[in-house]
A and B are shown apart, each in its own frame.
Chain A
Amino acid sequence: MPKKRLRAAAAIAASIVALAGCAGGESTSPNAGVPTDQPITLTVWSWDGTVKEAVPGFEKLHPNITVNVVNAGSSTDEYTALDNAIQAGSGVPDIAMFEYFSLPLFAIPGKLSDLSEFGAKDLAKDYVEAAWGNVTIDGKPYALPSDYGPAAMFYNQSVLTQAGVAAPPTTWDEFYQAAKKVRALGGDHYITNDSADIFVLMSLMWEGGGRPFKVNGTDVTIDFKDAGSSRAVAFWQKLLDEDLVNTKITNWSDDWNRGLNEGTLATQLIGGWFTSTLPERAPQAAGNFRVAPLPQWEAGETSGAENGGSAMAIPAAAQNKAAAYAFLEYFTHGDGLQSRIDAGAFVPNLSNLNNEKFLSATNPFFGDQKYNQVLADASKNVATGWQYPPFFGWARTSYEDVSAPLYDSRQGTLADVLETWKQRSIEYGNEQGFSVR
């Protein structure tokens, strides 16, 4: 669970670094039904610090509406608080933040408002398809995407060069070859680290077309045997077997920072939000890191995956839904979006991902590379159709437990771990009222 909290902390950090840019977000009028005569106070639960940037502009447009942005905790803490408020029937916020994988947990039991009634479906064309897919359940949008984490490969150019890898790997085969060369540098040099991070493994499955979770209402199917998933599992097993991945370093730890600084971790397969936290974590490696798309399964492919990201939704029990939607639209799509982008938010809105100024941003830490260009392409390339089981929040903690014997003491295989994980998930899911197979 602490890992989770740190991941959420990373999402906060993602919103700290300011990126230059300005997009002319098209402005629709989602203000239908918003009362203009009575005073309204909206409460927004968000651990994304950029949301408050949009408040002054919104309040100017709607003098009768006051917006309170509250940090009610990150991730699980917020979900627990929200669940408690919903059960108690009081203190429910008008807008709440969710990681993409946690949306079904609230949407499927009917705890969130279907945003179709406010015309949210019209906004679909402004988002990369996969991001819109994240907030759509059974064809209904339950949230609007507010930030995005396209999976990318951050690599230390000087270490790769030192290892004799001239160009960053573009396929997983090249990644494997590069891993061997980096390992040949000796000592603690590894191409990357992995301490049972399910998100890395899932992004490999996701990119290659694996869809291990299928959700239809409360029916959930789990199967890691499809072609895309099996290929990812076999590949990662090979890296583990040949000691090409450092399994002793966990993300967010001090060891991790040191590895990134020293260059003993040559790459990171992680979400695009890493741009905001890497420079402060690895100041000694300034100028060495670059961003590249995730390596592909076949040369020439341009597929992608997600690692992180979140959305904002309106609880079914919220008091002022029309006004809430007006603000929600304002800061995720409308005129308020730019203030958040300026404050460092990485959003999946095409208006921004196609904006020249945004794309041309550079940072000396990344060797003046136009890193936003890479991440914008990665965002657009994210493969669609991925689904998370509604109880994924529980499942990822469970994954850490079941994968411990493999990562701690090399017992069993990744496939065994996934099989055990599947059984535990089936047991838990059925207990929780889902029908899981």
Chain B
Amino acid sequence: MSRQLLTQRTSVSDVVADHQTFRKPKRRNVGLAFIAPFSVLFLFVFIVPIGYSAYISMFQNKLIGGKVFIWFDNYIKLFQDSQFYDGVIRVVLFTAIQVPIMLFSAIALALAIDSLRLHGSRFFRIIVFLPYAIPAIVSTLMWGFMLGIRYGLIGSLNKAAGTSFNPFAPETTMISIGVMVTWGFTGYNMLIFYAALRAVPRELYEAAAIDGATEFQIVRHIKLPALRSSLIVTIIFSIIGTFQLFNEPNILTTLVSNSGITSYYTPNMYAYSLAFTGSQQGYAAALALVMAVFTIAIAYAVQIKGMKNAFNK
């Protein structure tokens, strides 16, 4: 192994040395030309917007008095804002509960499809994936009608059973949103897991079968370890997705009343309402940046943790 690496390195440095000796100036220009399209895009699509957000986050846009430079006051205010914490705690709790349920279901479905023991697994695969193709707005309307207590499915069930369960009471709304999100994204995650399982060489299964491994042992020792890297990816995607929860609660406010959804229900809704109804763009920018850093930190921690476990194996 180490020997192979060593050989490679020598050959690479040989090539580099060649270039350096004979075509030094030209190489530099060509390199720049190659990275130029990317750099320009990167600059305008990533660096400038983030820089601009950071810039406006240091201003307060007063209705009387216009723009005032206030240094980091928006951030100081944000960290004392109980409405902000209310939203953050809500999405963190939501993530902690919904993401494991969704990913566990997705893995179970992927394993089922990959087991080759299902009839119509292709059809099944598409059906499970289909909700992902339905825009959140449409799916929220659909679920809103289904879970509605007055005329929806739950309403009929309540009537039949004589119960008064309300999926959109302040205590239960988040669970209903969890159901919607799980429904929408399980298929997507399942596909990622399924792709990872398909990449496992079939010979491994044969070898395991010859060694007398049971189906359960194959899952435990071959399939699940093969899913590790996709699991990290899906966890990160899911965390980012749930931290940005916006469409579902935002649309529900028009569908049902007394659902407990406030204008600061999630950090994204809060940012939206600050920017567009309170004209506090600077404060909204500060909130967005803090949430971005928070999300990146958690995603990064997940990645580091995942990698560490992978090396420990």
Contact of B151 among A109, A258, A404, A408 (CB under 8 A): A258
Q: Which residues of B are found within 8 Å of A196, using beta-carbon distances?
A: 257
Specify the chain B residue showing the minimal Cβ separation from A5.
Answer: B254
Residue pairs across A and B with CB atoms within 8 Å: the count is 100
A413 at the interface (CB under 8 A from B): no
Whether the pair A433, B277 counts as a contact (CB closer than 8 A) is no
Specify the chain A residue showing the minimal Cβ separation from B260.
Answer: A408
Q: Which of A385-427 contact B (CB under 8 A)?
A: 390-391, 393-394, 397-398, 400-401, 404, 407-409
Kindly specify which of B59-67, B119-127, B217-225 makes contact with the partner chain: B59-67
B259 at the interface (CB under 8 A from A): yes
Whether the pair B145, A254 counts as a contact (CB closer than 8 A) is yes
B250 at the interface (CB under 8 A from A): yes
A417 to B260, alpha carbons, bound, how many Å? 15
A258 to B278, alpha carbons, bound, how many Å? 34
B54 at the interface (CB under 8 A from A): no
The proximity string for B residues 245-257 relative to A, scoring 1 for CB distances below 8 Å and 0 otherwise, is: 0000011011111
A138 to B64, alpha carbons, bound, how many Å? 16
Interface residues of B (CB under 8 A from A): 60, 62-66, 145, 148, 150-151, 169-170, 250-251, 253-264, 272-273, 276-279
Contact of B253 among A2, A105, A432 (CB under 8 A): A2
A116 at the interface (CB under 8 A from B): no
A77 to B276, alpha carbons, bound, how many Å? 8
Cβ distance A350 to chain B, nearest Cβ, rounded Å:
34
> A-side binding surface: helix, strand, loop or mixed?
helix
Whether the pair B250, A109 counts as a contact (CB closer than 8 A) is no
Whether the pair B254, A433 counts as a contact (CB closer than 8 A) is no
Contact of B277 among A1, A218, A409 (CB under 8 A): A1
Interface residues of A (CB under 8 A from B): 1-4, 6, 76-77, 80, 83, 105, 108-109, 188, 195-196, 218, 247-250, 252-255, 258, 390-391, 393-394, 397-398, 400-401, 404, 407-409, 428, 431-434
Q: Which residues of A are found within 8 Å of B169, using beta-carbon distances?
A: 408-409
Contact of A195 among B257, B276, B278 (CB under 8 A): B257
Specify the chain B residue showing the minimal Cβ separation from A429.
Answer: B63
What 20 additional pairs, Cβ within 8 angstroms, besides A255-B148, A397-B273? A2-B250, A2-B253, A2-B254, A77-B276, A105-B63, A109-B63, A247-B258, A250-B256, A254-B145, A254-B148, A258-B150, A397-B277, A407-B257, A408-B169, A409-B258, A409-B260, A432-B64, A433-B64, A434-B63, A434-B64
Specify the chain B residue showing the minimal Cβ separation from A435.
Answer: B64
A391 to B64, alpha carbons, bound, how many Å? 11
Please name 30 pairs of A and B residues whose Cβ atoms are closer than 8 Å in the assembled complex, sorted by A.
A1-B272, A76-B277, A80-B276, A108-B63, A108-B64, A195-B257, A196-B257, A250-B256, A253-B254, A253-B256, A254-B148, A255-B148, A255-B150, A255-B151, A258-B150, A390-B63, A391-B63, A394-B278, A397-B278, A400-B263, A401-B264, A404-B258, A407-B257, A407-B258, A408-B259, A409-B258, A431-B60, A431-B62, A433-B63, A433-B65
A64 to B130, alpha carbons, bound, how many Å? 56
Specify the chain A residue showing the minimal Cβ separation from B64.
Answer: A433
Q: Which residues of B are found within 8 Å of A195, using beta-carbon distances?
A: 257-258
Given contacts A109-B63, A258-B151, A408-B170, A247 and B257 within 8 Å (CB-CB): yes
Max chain B Cβ within 10 angstroms of own Cβ: one of A390, A398, A404, A407 = A404
